[in-house]
Amino acid sequence: MTDSTPDLRLVEVRGPSALGGGWRRTWELLSLIAVTDFKKAYFGTALGYLWSIARPLMLFGVLLAVFTQVFRLGSQVPNYPVLLLFNIVLFTFFSEATITATTSIVGQESVVRKTQFPRLLIPLAVVLTSLFNLGFNLVVVFIFILAWGIDPTWTWLLFPLVLVLLFVITTAVSMIVSSLFPRFRDTAIIWSVAATVLFYATPVLYPLEVVQNQSQTLADILQINPLVPLFELARTWVIDPSAPGPVDLAGGFAALLPALAVYVGICVLAAWFFNREAPRIAEQL
Amino acid sequence: MQNPITVDDHDGAAVAAAAPTAPVVIEVRGIEKTFRVPERRVDTLKERATHPFSRMDYRELRALRDVSFDIHRGEFFGIVGQNGSGKSTLLKILASIYRADAGRIRMAGRLAPFIELGVGFNPELTARENSVINGVLMGLSKREARRRLDAVLDFAELGEFVDLKLKNYSSGMMVRLAFAVMVQADADIMLVDEVLAVGDFGFAQKCMEVFHEKRRTGKTILLVTHDMGTVRSLCDRAMFLRDGELDYIGDPEETAMRYYRANFERAGRYDDWEEQAAVTDINARVVHAWLESEGGERIEQVEQGEPIVLDALIEAKRELLAPLFSIHVSNAQGTVVFGFTRSLEGQRRERLAAGERVRLSGRIQQSLVPGSYSLDCWVRRDRQGGERAFQGLRLLDFDVSGSAAHERHGLVEVQTDVEAASEPGP
């Protein structure tokens, strides 16, 4: 019997972990789950995809009306409507992914409690599903952008870099909130409030130079937010090449360092914290 | 007919049965696991902030203490213990769901767990999606998992519900699907927790066939169960866990006896006839024990509601003072469903000499719901200084079969004349 299966070698069992169980298995599971979630979102309801674009579009409609008709902000900024739509779609990705991820591990309780499931895949699959959404939404947004009369420039090719950076920070935040939630159930409420605060603390509704004209101090505080340079980059690269970039707005590279430090800090914290929590998550459910 | 068991000594040291010669596939060394059970659960950040020192409120629960053992290739291994003895924790550590605090585990081959009556199902997904995901979880490739879907559905007899979301499944269907997925994953090692406790008799039979078949093909099976009948008839070896410690590993018969004795001791704490200090020792042995139908035919299976006739002959191994004979009938979960105690007072006998025999015989009008049962006899004697000594004797196992006309809820069927009648509204 031993000869027929020479692969049966005693191997150390290391217990549950964030990843683990082999790369092929991890990758196949991730793709399976993300694709299933995606299908569920798009074919599970009668209107499917329309729902996921309807939300940012409705938000866009309301905000556009407010900021062009009520406040005069819209008229000071070139191409304000497309910028607004673009920003909303990007921010929706961040907030939707992180908020959904918060409860994701507890939501997959039976998987976590009954199998050696690589724990990281659960929040990661949520972020990937939101990324699919973002991809579709961006198609709609770029149609708007072209229809608005903005000419494509070579800097459009740089835009995926923003997406990668946004994806990484979204994943990191998702890892933190999803592993906090099993222990502290009010994480969900706190994070949904925090996401709303971030919506206003990120240049979604306004470009940062508008804030700078009013109060340099406030602008300096906002610049700690690592999402700020990402949104500024996206704006200069896609919508308005003449807009001031993150470096100009901050007044030199050095002023961007706090945001960079926060960005890296969140990623390191996420990796450390999730890795620490992963083996014990099943016990907390 | 089940052979009557003779128990000569179950107080002996825990000695492993002759070690199998097949290679070791699971090697467990010094596993420890302690859970910190919060006395008052701190669930929110606010509570944590306002009670920063509430960590003091934890109570330590040592679920496993220094557990070491080896499982060999092709073994059918039983894990037995009372609720809270740590058997599920052990299984979860083996399945990489919990992490052990200390110790080392090495394993050879692919593992498929079946824990808490299921695998990692997501109720929002269909049977098809869940089967494939869980196949991959158990180590199949995506393509292989898809290829085996038909076999899974065939086994579970759920082909027509393949695209139904699992939240719409009945619990029985879910268990069937989970077990089918686990079986079709074709792992080298199967960890199975309590699958046989799921009511459906036909399905339990199917599980048994699978176990036999897997064992023939050299797969290793670890089964957690409360059903000593299964342990004794199926397992090559078994272990008895007691309060997180490995009490015994080896012979399934001995394991079953230790389990029964532990159950009895636990029940004894609440039992007034065991209030005084009780010790276990050797009192008696079973000469024979069987069940008969009313027609006098020996049986192992009885229809629900049919009376049975017990015939057991017990021999005193020593002088027994004021002996009592307590019959317990337990179901597959180890719950004592009913019991009765007989003494020799009617015969004005206060003692039995060594070698004398006692016959327990007569009719039992049972109304048990369908399932597997075991019948034990606890022999008690008075010792010097007001102490009592007792010993558990396994008499026999039997099955109760039922037709649809009978109730299947609960533990027993009772006679009622409750009726439902419609009445006009006020």
- Domain encompassing residue B122: 24-260
- Amino acid at position B161, single letter: F
| Distance from chain centroid for Cα A226 | 12
**CB < 8 Å to B93, chain A:** 15
Q: Is 70 exceeded by the pLDDT of residue A60?
A: yes
- The total number of structural domains in chain B stands at 2
Residue B317 in domain? yes
Asked whether residue B215 falls in the same domain as residue B293, the answer is no
pLDDT score recorded for residue B273: 39
pLDDT score recorded for residue B335: 76
pLDDT score recorded for residue A260: 94
Asked whether residue B64 falls in the same domain as residue B208, the answer is yes
Strand order in the sheet with B284-292: B298-299, B284-292, B308-316, B357-364
A13 confidence band (pLDDT: 50, 70, 90): confident
**CB < 8 Å to B92, chain A:** 282
Asked whether residue B232 falls in the same domain as residue B194, the answer is yes
> Which among A116, A187, A280 has CB closest to B96?
A116
> Smallest Cα–Cα separation from A202: which of A172, A175, A169, A224?
A224
Distance between CA atoms of residues A126 and A119, nearest Å: 12
Alpha-helical (H) ranges within B78-223 are 87-94, 127-137, 142-147, 149-156, 171-184, 201-216
Show which of residues 105-144 on chain A sit within 8 Å of chain B, judged by CB atoms: 108, 110-117
**Strand B284-292 with B298-299, pairing:** antiparallel
Residue B101 in domain? yes
CATH number at residue B382: 2.70.50.60
Residue B410 in domain? no
Q: Is 60 exceeded by the pLDDT of residue A108?
A: yes
CATH number at residue B102: 3.40.50.300
Asked whether residue B80 falls in the same domain as residue B220, the answer is yes
Taking only the tens place, the pLDDT of each residue in B341-388 is 888 877 777 788 888 899 999 999 888 888 888 898 888 877 666 666
Mean confidence (pLDDT) of chain A = 87
Distance between CA atoms of residues B149 and B147, nearest Å: 6
Distance between CA atoms of residues A111 and B187, nearest Å: 18
**CB < 8 Å to B131, chain A:** none
Taking only the tens place, the pLDDT of each residue in A190-239 is 999 999 999 999 999 888 888 888 888 898 899 899 999 999 999 999 99
Residue B343 in domain? yes
Asked whether residue B221 falls in the same domain as residue B313, the answer is no
In DSSP terms, B320 is beta-bridged to: B352
Asked whether residue B351 falls in the same domain as residue B210, the answer is no
Element (H, E) at A82: helix A80-102
Are the Cβ atoms of A113 and B43 closer than 8 angstroms?
A: no
Are the Cβ atoms of B98 and A282 closer than 8 angstroms?
A: yes
> Which among B46, B116, B133 has CB closest to A114?
B116
Residue B159 in domain? yes
**CB < 8 Å to A10, chain B:** 24-25, 27, 106-108
Asked whether residue B88 falls in the same domain as residue B143, the answer is yes
> Which among A13, A112, A282 has CB closest to B105?
A13
Residue B19 in domain? no
Residue B72 in domain? yes
Domain boundary among B205, B232, B260: B260
B13 confidence band (pLDDT: 50, 70, 90): very low
Asked whether residue B295 falls in the same domain as residue B371, the answer is yes
Asked whether residue B360 falls in the same domain as residue B242, the answer is no
Q: Which of A114-123, B130-139, B263-272, B281-290 has the lowest mean pLDDT?
A: B263-272
Its ipTM equals 0.80
B40 confidence band (pLDDT: 50, 70, 90): low
Taking only the tens place, the pLDDT of each residue in B2-11 is 333 333 333 3
Are the Cβ atoms of A15 and B98 closer than 8 angstroms?
A: yes
Asked whether residue B82 falls in the same domain as residue B223, the answer is yes
Q: Where are the beta strands (DSSP E) in B45-157?
A: 58-72, 76-81, 102-108, 111-114
Domain boundary among B260, B288, B307: B260
Distance between CA atoms of residues B250 and B260, nearest Å: 16
Are the Cβ atoms of A15 and B100 closer than 8 angstroms?
A: yes
Asked whether residue B363 falls in the same domain as residue B256, the answer is no
Are the Cβ atoms of B43 and A40 closer than 8 angstroms?
A: no
Chain B: nearest CA to A77, how far in angstroms? 42
Q: Is 80 exceeded by the pLDDT of residue B154?
A: yes
User: What phi, psi does B105 have (nearest 5°)?
Assistant: -125, 135
